[in-house]
Structures are given as structure tokens and as C-alpha cells.
Amino acid sequence: MLTQAKYIDYLLSTPRNYTCTHLAAHLPGVSHDEVNRFLRDSAFSASQLRALVLPLLHDSPEAFLLVDDSVQDKRYSRFIEVAKRQYSGTVHGPVTGIGLVNLVHSSGESGDFLPLDFRVYAPDADGLTKNEHFQAMFAQVVAEDQLLARTILFDSWYAASANLKQIHRAGWTFFTTLKSNRLVSLSKEAGYQGLDTLEPPASGWSRGVEVRLQQVPFAVKLFKLVATDGSIEWVVTNHLAAHLSREMVIEAVQVRWQVEEFHRSFKQLTGSEKCQCRKASAQRNHLTCCYLAWVTLRQHARTIGQTIYQAHQQPWSAFLRQQLQNPPFPVVLPTPA
């Protein structure tokens, strides 16, 4: 009988083939149809991920929540129900895939992050936008009130006024980037203007400048961050403390990149993109198992003091050593002239 634990074992054990056929070929007594029914008819959900992760968090008032989305590439699978054409940052263009909106917890320390919640972006099925998924996950965190973290980080895609107001009303702090055409007001007299038209404040950008955003009924502090290559990031926060500095904002922005680290390892180590089942329920159940597999692998890596990539390769390293000691194939070489 195929169980969720056995399926997660399979995700962590197979090198690159994650199909129902491949699993059935390597698990005695289990057929392809049984694997397909297991994925189609199970009822796994993000609540399993939250229950698993909450006791594992290194949570504190200095911890963060990170929000971002990713696309599980399904460009060669035209008949998967939940896959749709959408923009992918990985390929820098549209691709057919399954969109995920992820909520990740970070202690703030390098490498110390865990996925806490996720939503499948399927507007044709539920009519929900990515921002509405964002709002639902954040509302659940606030309602459950199990975290000490009170700061949330995200990029300009999620900087909609409705999101900012929801976070501010809940008493949380946000740091987010803005697009350069976002309108801000330095004063009632000055009116609104695009970020790309702002003159530097008299005291410079090191302490930011207090501004108003359209449709946001509270002040925010704006910072202009210029990278060594000349690229510009506009960052706003509702944290108005006088001691807030450009360096503190940069540290927060750098923590936000941990969600990209999660996206990369999630795709590379769990087979999240590789399931070929057509039914939406099968894809959703597969993805839930992938999240649980990632957490399992991450915890094992912590236990043995290795990176998550090293831990994933560990069984194959032992296998390779064994194969090199006892080669399975006689090597054929040309006869020397």
C-alpha cells in the first residue's frame, strides 16, 4: 500500500525521474494506476506543512516572514489542469506552469529559513489573485497568533495598497520595494509624483524620507538604494523610528532573498516540477508532499551538519564509491597500436 511517507521517501530517493511509472517499477506490489489514484484521491494540504514547521522555527521578535511566488515549469505538459500561461522570473518571460505563492519564515540568520505556508495560483479554478492569496495567508498567521515575528518582507508585486493596509492594521512592520513609477507625496502642497522624478532630500538618503503613497492612509519611510552597478531599488517601510538607517534597510532586503534560495532548492531537490499527472488534485497533492520532503531533507541536513545539497547527494556519493570499487560493466578500450 502506498502511503504519504513512502511517497516522500521516493521524492527524496529518486535521482531525476519522478513519474508514477518509475515509482511503480521500483516499489514492489504497487502499480502505476495505484500511484495515480493515490495522488488524485488524497486530500493533503498546506495545513500539514504548517503543523510540521511551527515547532521547528527559530522564532523571535527579530524574525521575518517572506512572501514571493514561483512557477513550476510545465512547458511540455499541455494537459495539466492547474497549469496556465504565466510570467516566470526564471526564464524572464511567459511559460506554461503551476504558480505557487509561498510564505517563508526566516530567523534572520543566513540559511535559517523554512516554508510555512503556500497557495496554488489557479484563478480559473478559484478566481483568486496572487495578492488575495497573500492576504489570506497573512490573515491566517494573524488569527492563529503563534509567531513572535512581526516583520514581513516582499517585493513590489505585493506592494498593493490593500496589502500594506492589512499589514499595518495588524500591527506588523513591512519592508517592500516599489516600482519606479509609483506615486508618492512629500507634502500636501507638493502633490504626488513618480519615484523616478524625486530629488534627493537635503540630508541625503541615509535616514530615508517620510512620504505618503496613494490610497495608503498612513506615512511610510522611503529609501533609495543604489547598487554598485548603478541599479536602483526604492524601499518603503511603515517603521518610522528615527534610528532606522539605510544599512538596516539593506539588511532587511538581503534577508528577503532567502525566499529565492528556497525556490531554487525546492525545484532542484524535490521534483516539484516533474510530476506528469493531469488532474489538478494530483498536482496539488504532489506539491504538498514536495514541501514536506524539503523540510525533511533540511532537518536531516541540520542533524548531520551539511548543506541541504550535500545531504541530498549523500546516498548517491556512497553508491558511486561502491560502483567505482566494483564496476558493474567491463570497460572496453581500443587495442594499443
- Asked if the model's pLDDT at residue 337 lies above 80, the reply is no
Helices 46-53 and 280-304 cross at an angle (nearest 10°) of 10
Residue 280 forms part of a structural domain: no
Q: What is the pLDDT of residue 189?
A: 80
The whole-angstrom separation of Cα 87 and Cα 94 is 4
Residue 86 lies in a domain: no
Is the pLDDT at 1 greater than 90, yes or no? no
User: What's the pLDDT tens digit per position in 270-316?
Assistant: 999 999 999 999 999 999 999 999 999 999 999 999 999 999 998 88
Q: How would you classify the pairing of strands 64-73 and 151-154?
A: parallel
Question: Looking at the domain assignment, is residue 160 inside a domain?
Answer: yes
What's residue 92's pLDDT? 80
- The answer on pLDDT for 169 being more than 90 is yes
39-63 average pLDDT score = 97
Which among 203, 277, 303 is positioned nearest to 33, based on CA atoms? 277
Q: Is 29 a domain residue?
A: no
Residue at grid coordinates 521500483? 26
DSSP H/E element including 304: helix 280-304
Q: What is the mean pLDDT of the chain?
A: 94
Q: How far apart are CA 120 and CA 196, in angstroms?
A: 34
Beta strands in the chain (DSSP E): 64-73, 84-88, 93-106, 113-121, 151-154, 173-178, 183-185, 192-194, 209-213, 220-226, 232-237
For residues 175 and 156, give the distance between their C-alpha atoms in angstroms, rounded to a whole number.
Answer: 10
- Helix (H) or strand (E) segment spanning residue 33: helix 32-41
Using pLDDT thresholds of 50, 70 and 90, give the confidence band for residue 70.
very high
Residue 18 forms part of a structural domain: no
Give domain status of residue 19, yes or no. Answer: no
Q: What is the mean pLDDT of residues 215-234?
A: 93
The model's pTM is 0.94
What is the total count of domains within the chain? 1
* 104-114 CB burial, b ≥16 within 10 A, e <16: bbbbbeeeebb
Specify if 327 maps to a domain: no
Q: Which helix (H) or strand (E) covers residue 255, if one does?
A: helix 246-256
Reading the block at residue 270, the C-alpha cell is 524535490
Query: DSSP code of 186?
Result: S
**Domain with 195 in it:** 156-243
Residue 78 has pLDDT above 80, yes or no: no
Q: Is residue 41 exposed (0-12), middle (13-18) or buried (19+ Cβ within 10 Å)?
A: exposed
Report which residue type is found at 222. L
* Each residue's pLDDT tens digit, 84-115: 988 887 778 899 999 999 999 999 999 999 99
What distances in angstroms separate CA 323 from CA 311, 317, 333, one per listed residue? 20, 10, 19
Q: How far apart are CA 260 and CA 108, in angstroms?
A: 14
Residue 318 within a domain:
no
